């Protein structure tokens, strides 16, 4: 039986080999030689994962030096084939149009019992330690995981999704191409809204829109750092940067116009008036701008019909280390600082990813 199966595999007659293996399985499924031939059949039909598991099962069950050697050789062949297939798949992906264009890849959140399978898949595809993989699987919100050529990211995101670690990629150019308007203030909020805003070139103008045009809303807090004097080792004074406060940023996505209206509590100008219907009833508005900002945020949230995304903080923690690898961005967050902060472009990337993903989902839905 073993020789007949080997001959069928040599001829690539997989139908005959499968039939003979089925007969052997019915006669003696525990025969280690049956497992060896089953592993070779799985290997020949490129079912690499099953073949490796079968060869490992042989190593756990037998003491025969010959069979153990054959199983080890099988594992080595499988691993070499997997590595070669990966190289070929990457080369094919890179050769596609725009395969060399820069992109970003994110891991999507995985909760509950599914996290273990996701971590195992991440470790396998990326070739990292299982413990490290568990730490990298996000439980809430996206994690910016890799930047590089779109071809590579397309391959890895597909491979990860297949092993239960959902991931996605976008082109950096799609985020960089987004039009951002920094909102100075609302002129009116009903029945139509109208904002005074500044574009990337510093030009001031007005944009009127229906609230139904706002497809989604993205919120985030950007840390504000200050240089402070702290007590270090041995009681010595030292200078350090510490978070002293946070700036709140709100993005209103208008996909029909391919633009984002960006509001920030530090730059929004309430001195030009507050058009909210209940503006006169806002408590303590003469003491601080904060109550007016909170009332504005609530009003905008209540007008929203689409999703509201507020997971920037977790995303920002993973994104900061990649910001310097990205092309220069103009996030239109004009906060007075001693020096620029990487958190501004990090928020821009987070909001841009949501913009691109929403657009992709809309196109996919309309094509069904």
Distance of alpha carbon 68 from alpha carbon 64, whole angstroms: 6
pLDDT in tens, the chain (368 residues): 788 888 988 888 899 999 989 988 888 888 888 989 999 999 999 888 899 999 999 999 888 889 899 999 999 999 888 888 888 888 888 888 888 999 999 999 999 999 999 999 999 999 899 999 999 999 999 999 999 999 999 999 999 999 999 999 999 999 999 999 999 999 999 999 999 999 999 999 999 999 999 999 999 999 987 766 666 666 666 666 677 788 999 999 999 999 999 999 999 999 888 899 988 888 877 678 899 999 999 999 999 999 999 999 999 999 999 998 888 888 989 887 777 789 999 999 999 999 999 999 988 776 66
| Domains observed in the chain | 2-94 (1.25.40.10), 102-174 (3.30.1390.10), 178-366 (no CATH)
Q: Residue 335: its pLDDT value, please?
A: 85
3-state secondary structure of 83: helix
CB 54, CB 35: distance < 8 Å: yes
Distance of alpha carbon 353 from alpha carbon 251, whole angstroms: 12
What is the full DSSP assignment across 106-139?
EEPP--TTHHHHHHHHHHHHHT--HHHHHHHS-S
Q: What are phi and psi of 20, to 5 degrees?
A: -65, -40
Q: How far is CA 58 from the centre of its chain?
A: 39
H or E element, residue 218: strand 216-231
- pTM of this structure: 0.82
Q: Residue 365: its pLDDT value, please?
A: 74
On the 0-12 / 13-18 / 19+ scale of CB atoms within 10 A, 202 is exposed
Q: Residue 235: its pLDDT value, please?
A: 63
The CB density around residue 18, as the number of other CB atoms within 10 Å, is 15
């Amino acid at each position: 039986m073993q020789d007949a199966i080997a001959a069928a595999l040599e001829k690539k007659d997989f139908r005959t080999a499968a039939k003979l293996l089925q007969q052997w399985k019915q006669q003696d499924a525990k025969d280690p030689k049956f497992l060896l031939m089953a592993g070779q059949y799985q290997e020949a039909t490129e079912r690499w994962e099953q073949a490796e598991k079968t060869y490992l099962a042989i190593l756990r069950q037998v003491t025969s030096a010959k069979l153990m050697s054959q199983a080890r050789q099988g594992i080595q062949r499988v691993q070499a084939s997997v590595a070669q297939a990966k190289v070929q798949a990457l080369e094919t992906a890179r050769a596609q149009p725009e395969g060399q264009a820069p992109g970003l890849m994110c891991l999507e959140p995985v909760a509950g019992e599914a996290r273990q399978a996701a971590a195992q898949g991440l470790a396998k595809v990326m070739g990292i330690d299982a413990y490290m993989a568990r730490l990298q699987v996000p439980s809430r919100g996206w994690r910016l995981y890799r930047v590089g050529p779109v071809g590579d990211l397309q391959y890895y995101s597909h491979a990860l999704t297949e092993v239960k670690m959902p991931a996605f990629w976008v082109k950096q150019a799609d985020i960089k191409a987004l039009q951002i308007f920094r909102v100075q203030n609302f002129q009116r909020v009903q029945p139509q809204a109208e904002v005074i805003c500044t574009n990337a070139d510093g030009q001031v103008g007005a944009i009127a829109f229906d609230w139904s045009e706002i497809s989604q809303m993205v919120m985030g807090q950007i840390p504000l750092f200050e240089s402070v004097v702290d007590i270090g080792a041995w009681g010595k004074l030292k200078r350090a940067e510490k978070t002293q406060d946070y700036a709140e940023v709100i993005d209103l996505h208008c996909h029909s116009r391919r633009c984002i209206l960006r509001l920030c509590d530090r730059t929004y100008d309430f001195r030009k008036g507050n058009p909210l219907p209940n503006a006169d009833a806002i408590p303590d508005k003469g003491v601080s701008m904060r109550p007016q900002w909170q009332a504005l945020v609530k009003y905008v949230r209540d007008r929203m019909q689409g999703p509201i995304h507020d997971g920037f903080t977790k995303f920002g923690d993973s994104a900061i280390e990649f910001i310097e690898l990205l092309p220069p961005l103009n996030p239109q967050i004009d906060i007075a600082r001693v020096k620029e902060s990487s958190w501004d472009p990090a928020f821009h990337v987070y909001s841009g990813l949501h913009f691109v993903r929403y657009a992709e989902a809309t196109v996919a839905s309309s094509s069904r």
